């Protein structure tokens, strides 16, 4: 049995988008939009519109930026609704 190291057990870290500089935030959002290659249905949505949509989701706290210390990667994920 191979015990996990402390690094392997570190949970992802939520990074408040307001803690990032405007340039860093734009870079994270652009990287996410380019990487996701999201299908928007029958209509093509231009890059700037996609970036603006992700930014609004972050502003409304519908999505959040998450850093994974194990893979040293950053991503944007949809927040799970709280259950009552």
* pLDDT tens column, 46-79: 899 999 999 999 999 999 999 999 999 999 998 8
Domain ranges of the chain: 6-78
| Whole-number Å distance between alpha carbons of 46 and 59 | 20
pLDDT score at 1: 46
Average pLDDT, the chain: 85
pLDDT tens string 45-54: 889 999 999 9
DSSP string, 59-83: HTTSEEEEEETTTTEEEEEEPPPPP
User: Is the CATH code 1.10.10.10 the one for domain 6-78?
Assistant: no
Measure the CA–CA gap between 13 and 15, rounded to whole angstroms. 6
* Cβ atoms 29, 21 nearer than 8 A: no
CA distance 15 to 46: 27
Tokens encoding 78: 């949809």
Task: Specify the pTM.
Answer: 0.76
Return the structure tokens found at 3: 């015990």
Higher pLDDT: 66 or 43? It is 66
Q: Is the pLDDT of residue 35 over 70?
A: yes
Phi, psi of 49 (to 5 degrees): -65, -40
């Amino acid at each position: 049995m191979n015990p996990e190291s402390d690094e392997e057990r570190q949970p992802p870290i939520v990074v408040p988008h307001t803690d990032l500089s405007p340039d860093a935030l734009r870079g994270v959002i652009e990287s996410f939009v380019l990487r996701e290659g999201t299908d928007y249905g029958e209509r093509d949505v231009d890059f700037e519109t996609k970036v603006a949509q992700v930014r609004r989701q972050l502003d409304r706290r519908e999505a959040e930026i998450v850093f994974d210390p194990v893979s040293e990667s950053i991503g944007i994920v949809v927040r799970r609704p709280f259950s009552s």
